[in-house]
């Protein structure tokens, strides 16, 4: 094995094999995984709440009836179902026969080195005052109050998707956590913003900030404390990955900048941002136990250098931006569950990156009680343990018991609570003029004006107002529209665009036709279908595609469809006749004139995906391929071949969650323009019309590569659709080489490269000037001393009596409380702590402050380039800087080039501006597995290439 792939897959030399073997004890409470999880359900991440995104009054609710074989309890039916289950199980096994031979049993936990104890928060200058305030409050808390702050109350045990308990006696409120990042999930009267991938495609830092800020304004006005976004994991290793669309693109630098800007936007409004999912949750298949019929989640096996330079890189930007919370993912990393991986949470996130906020679990991603607390988890969500809505938490009363019996050190619990309270102070949520402590003014579980506080509990409860239908959208439609327009990528342009609204000419030509211009619009993706909220959590592909599906989706208050906006643009123009056929199977055979008479054809198609708990037709979260769905490719070919007898001009518009293969039609000669509009949100049609008619000059750039086949992306880019073991093992053997890095390494010609996107104007790049601000040196400056000392508390275990339920306390069934019914059974037996728990870890030289060693963020080099608009209209240009490491002076393998800078400038006709890129020490470094630090190459020359895409880099300079 390459030495660069050893550090996270095997112990460092300082660890003995027997200590290393069980560094993570996520399942220490159970005899086996199967015993612990044999009754685990598929997660109901959806609610039964119907769509009501723009409500001023209650709506009728659909009643979901039980279905399936067991509903009728017919013996024959039950036997048939069991037989079908057996066939499916065998099919899964058959798919991995040889793998099962290799993995005959569950591999040992802990292939990630132990890292204990959890570093305490409160060491960074930027958080010092918040920790001082938090320590004063936490010192006064009782044990149950501390546990209440760290434990969710349970699924549907409060108005939000995540709810913590309050610390009433000290004045700390219950926190409300709500899904993002496209908007406020399950809320009425809130904006459906463009998806993260569309934001990434803008390559516009200001819009990234505004996207986050507008979301936070709405969340705060709805009573939400914590937004569960932005999303930077998955990174996009696999182009067919189901949730790639929630993130910003398949490059760590692009993801990191977009994350940092959106976090700043969110948190400057006082709302806590949550960066997710840590880490390597790159596919939906087998992402969590039992969701796919297996007792274990997939293990993403990643080497040390790849972890740092690819998958953790954007999390470093998020931490540097001051993110309040990090969400750990469902999957395993090197055979240790993410939410119990001490190396990941304690070593990498806290020690190296200096994270000061709190770590929360993804919903039901916690797999143990004591072990996850020791490994660095601070908050469990939604509070339930292995089963949804059962009230049996790993923490709650069990955490109280674990502190009283000494298995969880009180010191660890105090740090958990202090981190959460400090984040509350850091964001100014103690200001009651902004956060009134009344909680959300909407319910995630009903659209009715009244309901119960905890609908997940069968206990009878009083009816209270739960929905107040507060409209929080303001003028955010304009932001959504601008992002959707700037996130639209012009892939092909042969003179057709922009169109005009007031004449029967099109395509920049002056010729006129006899009679009105015949325009035909084709494709289901152009129209409304059954409405944007027809399927729960947007879990189907029908009508125009404006969002993927899953917990990251929102209720649309409205959706402007492409056909609506285009028809409106030509409304009243007698020189234009528009016909629309909003189906992917128009009656071409029966009505050949549909195509024959059309002079301009606009055809729409799409590709959808989403979170793994839902499936639509053959798309089970992850896409099964990279083709357009619902016959989209065939529709485009038919239209191109038949439009005006094959002589008409064709515009293709694609809405998609990720790359799609276009080889069946992209080179057809009468396809004159192709627009890739990503996932545009509620202003879809308006934004598209802005681009088509030239109100907005297209400036979007691809946030990933479009290859000619799936094979072009490499073996590592392919989804594991069938398990290769009881614990599916996914080895990230390609290392650093994903997306454009893979294409560059293997000299593969893409159809459209990363960063590509055309404009209605042209730009010229000249005069690359490189200026050194600091000289090269192998390693960053020594790690600085902590600015502040973490809070210290009374170390004595509290009186057991304070953990008991208060007298005459009325319990809600299944609600997670911190209290115990009795303390008579508490026994302080020695706890079997994980191997390596008693070894004090050396501090990383890469750490030292929020974001890591401060020297990593110092600017060492600036690169300046002049850009001139040489076309006939104003437009925005996206200069991109790629770095090439010195060649031939090191045995370390580097990618051909990596993105290390971008900007976006508006240039008027013939205007010239200078753009300057600031390159930090981190930008110029690589992760050295031997020194365990970020290292700079001191010999040879760095090369900086600047241009408009990863393969259009006309100017360069060296250092």
Cβ atoms of 190 and 142 within 8 Å: the answer is no
Identify whether 384 is a catalytic site residue.
Answer: no
780, two tokens? 């960053």
Tell me the C-alpha distance between 184 and 229, whole Å: 10
DSSP E strands, 448-531 = 450-451, 464-465, 489-493, 517-522
Q: Which residue has the tokens 């954007």?
A: 314
What is the DSSP code (8-state) at residue 87? H
**Sign of CA pseudo-dihedral 805, 806, 812, 816:** negative
Give Cα separations from 162 to 355, 566, 683 (angstroms). Answer: 22, 41, 29
Phi first, then psi, for residue 39 (nearest 5°) are -110, 15
Phi first, then psi, for residue 937 (nearest 5°) are -80, 115
Phi first, then psi, for residue 470 (nearest 5°) are -80, 125
The DSSP H or E segment spanning 278 is strand 272-278
Tell me the C-alpha distance between 6 and 342, whole Å: 17
24, two tokens? 């993570």
- What are the residues facing 337 on neighbouring strands? 332
How crowded is residue 125: how many other Cβ atoms within 10 Å of its Cβ?
11
DSSP assignment of 662-731:
-TTTTT-TTEEEEEE----GGGHHHHHHHHHTTSS------SS-B-SSGGGG-GGGS---S-SSSS-EEE
Q: Which residue has the tokens 């039992």?
A: 290
Cβ atoms of 791 and 122 within 8 Å: the answer is yes
Residues 6+ positions from 640 with CB-CB distance below 8 Å: 601, 603, 646, 650, 665, 668, 670, 671
Give the distance from CA 771 to its chain's centroid.
Answer: 36
Give Cα separations from 238 to 52, 640, 700 (angstroms). Answer: 34, 30, 22
**Short-list 855, 488, 847, CA closest to 688:** 488
**Short-list 119, 140, 127, CA closest to 793:** 140
Question: Virtual CA dihedral for 421, 344, 403, 422, nearest 10 degrees?
Answer: -10
Tell me the C-alpha distance between 850 and 322, whole Å: 7
106, two tokens? 């569950």
Q: How far apart are the first and last CA of the chain?
A: 33
Q: Counting every residue, how long is the chain? A: 959
Tell me the C-alpha distance between 200 and 182, whole Å: 13
Cβ atoms of 416 and 360 within 8 Å: the answer is no
**Which residue among 317, 362, 384, 855 is the active-site one?**
362
Helix 684-692, helix 562-569: angle, nearest 10:
50
Phi first, then psi, for residue 934 (nearest 5°) are -80, 120
Q: Counting beta carbons within 10 angstroms of the beta carbon of residue 39, is it exposed (0 to 12), middle (13 to 18) or buried (19 or more)?
A: exposed
**Sign of CA pseudo-dihedral 632, 638, 639, 640:** positive
Tell me the C-alpha distance between 8 and 329, whole Å: 18
**Positions marked active-site:** 362
């Amino acid at each position: 094995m390459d030495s660069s792939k050893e550090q996270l897959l095997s112990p460092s030399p300082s660890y003995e094999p027997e200590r290393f073997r069980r560094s993570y004890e996520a399942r220490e409470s159970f005899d086996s995984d199967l015993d612990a999880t044999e009754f685990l359900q598929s997660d109901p991440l959806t609610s039964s709440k119907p769509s009501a995104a723009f409500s001023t009054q209650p709506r009728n609710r659909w009643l979901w009836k039980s279905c399936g074989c067991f509903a009728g309890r017919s013996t024959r039916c039950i036997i048939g179902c069991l037989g079908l289950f057996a066939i499916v199980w065998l099919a899964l096994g058959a798919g991995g026969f040889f793998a099962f031979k290799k993995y005959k049993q569950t591999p040992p936990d802990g292939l990630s080195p132990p890292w204990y104890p959890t570093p305490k928060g409160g060491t960074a200058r930027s958080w010092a005052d918040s920790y001082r305030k938090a320590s004063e409050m936490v010192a006064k808390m009782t044990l149950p109050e501390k546990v209440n702050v760290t434990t969710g109350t349970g699924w549907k045990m409060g108005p939000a998707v995540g709810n913590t308990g309050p610390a009433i006696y000290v004045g700390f409120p219950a926190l409300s956590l709500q899904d993002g990042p496209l908007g406020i999930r399950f809320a009425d009267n809130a904006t459906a913003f463009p998806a993260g991938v569309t934001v990434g495609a803008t390559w516009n830092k200001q819009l990234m900030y505004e996207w986050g800020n507008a979301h936070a304004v709405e969340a705060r006005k709805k009573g939400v404390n914590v937004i569960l976004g932005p999303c930077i994991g998955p990174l996009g290793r696999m182009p067919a990955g189901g949730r790639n669309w929630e993130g910003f693109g398949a490059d760590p630098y692009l993801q990191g900048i977009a994350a940092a800007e959106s976090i700043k936007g969110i948190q400057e409004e006082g709302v806590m941002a949550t960066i997710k999912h840590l880490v390597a949750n790159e596919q939906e298949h087998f992402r969590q136990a039992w969701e796919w019929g297996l007792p274990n989640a997939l293990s993403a096996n990643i080497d040390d250098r790849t972890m740092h330079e690819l998958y953790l890189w954007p999390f470093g930007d998020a931490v540097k931006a001051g993110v309040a919370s990090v969400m750990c993912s469902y999957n395993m990393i090197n055979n240790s569950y993410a939410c119990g991986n001490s190396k990941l949470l304690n070593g990498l996130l806290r020690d190296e990156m200096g994270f000061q906020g709190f770590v929360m679990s993804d919903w039901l991603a916690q797999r143990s009680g004591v072990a996850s607390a020791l490994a660095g988890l601070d908050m469990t969500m939604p509070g339930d343990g292995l089963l949804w809505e059962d009230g049996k938490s790993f923490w709650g009363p069990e955490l109280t018991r674990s502190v009283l019996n000494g298995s969880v050190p009180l010191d660890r619990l105090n740090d958990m609570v202090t981190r959460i309270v400090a984040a509350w102070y850091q964001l100014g949520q103690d200001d009651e003029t902004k956060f009134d402590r009344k909680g959300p003014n909407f319910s995630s579980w009903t659209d009715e004006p009244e309901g119960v506080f905890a609908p997940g509990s069968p206990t009878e409860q009083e009816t209270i107002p739960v929905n107040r239908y507060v409209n929080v959208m303001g003028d955010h439609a304009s932001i959504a529209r601008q992002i959707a327009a700037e996130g639209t990528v012009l892939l092909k342009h042969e003179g057709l665009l922009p169109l005009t609204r007031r004449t029967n000419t099109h395509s920049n030509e002056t010729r006129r036709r006899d009679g009105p211009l015949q325009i035909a619009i084709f494709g289901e993706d152009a129209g409304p279908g059954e409405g944007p909220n027809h399927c729960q959590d947007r879990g189907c592909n029908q009508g125009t595609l404006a969002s993927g599906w899953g917990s990251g989706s929102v209720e649309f208050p409205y959706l402007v469809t492409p056909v609506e906006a285009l028809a409106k643009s030509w409304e009243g123009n007698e020189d234009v006749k528009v016909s629309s056929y909003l189906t992917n199977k128009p009656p071409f055979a029966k009505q050949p004139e549909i195509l024959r008479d059309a002079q301009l054809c606009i055809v729409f198609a799409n590709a959808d995906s989403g979170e793994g708990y839902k499936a639509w037709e053959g798309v089970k979260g992850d896409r099964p391929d990279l083709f357009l769905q619902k016959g989209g490719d065939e529709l485009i070919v038919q239209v191109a071949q038949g439009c005006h007898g094959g002589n008409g001009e064709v515009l293709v518009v694609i809405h998609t969650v990720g790359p799609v293969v276009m080889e069946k039609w992209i080179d057809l000669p009468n396809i004159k323009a192709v627009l890739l509009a990503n996932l545009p949100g509620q202003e879809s049609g308006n934004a598209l019309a802005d681009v088509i008619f030239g109100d907005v000059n297209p400036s979007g750039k691809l946030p990933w590569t479009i290859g000619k086949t799936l094979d072009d992306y490499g073996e590592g880019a392919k989804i594991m659709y069938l398990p290769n073991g009881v614990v599916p093992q996914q080895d990230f053997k390609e290392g650093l080489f994903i997306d454009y890095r893979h294409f560059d390494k293997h000299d593969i010609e893409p159809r459209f490269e990363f960063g590509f996107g055309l404009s209605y104007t042209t730009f010229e790049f000249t005069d690359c000037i490189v200026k050194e601000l600091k000289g090269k040196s192998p390693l960053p400056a020594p790690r600085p001393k902590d600015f502040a000392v973490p809070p210290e508390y009374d170390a004595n275990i509290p009186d057991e009596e304070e953990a008991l339920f208060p007298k005459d306390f009325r319990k809600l069934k299944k609600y997670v409380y911190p209290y115990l019914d009795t303390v008579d059974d508490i026994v302080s037996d020695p706890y079997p702590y994980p191997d390596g728990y008693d070894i004090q870890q050396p501090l990383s030289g890469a750490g030292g402050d929020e974001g890591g060693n401060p020297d990593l963020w110092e600017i060492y080099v600036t690169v300046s380039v002049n850009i001139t608009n040489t076309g006939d209209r104003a437009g925005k240009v996206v200069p991109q800087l790629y770095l090439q490491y010195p060649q031939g002076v090191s045995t370390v393998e580097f990618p051909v080039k990596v993105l290390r800078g971008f900007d976006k400038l508006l240039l008027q006709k013939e205007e010239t501006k200078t753009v300057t890129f600031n390159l930090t020490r981190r930008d110029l470094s690589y992760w050295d597995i031997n020194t365990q630090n970020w290292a700079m190459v001191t010999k040879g020359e760095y090369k900086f290439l600047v241009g408009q895409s990863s393969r259009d880099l006309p100017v360069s300079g060296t250092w």
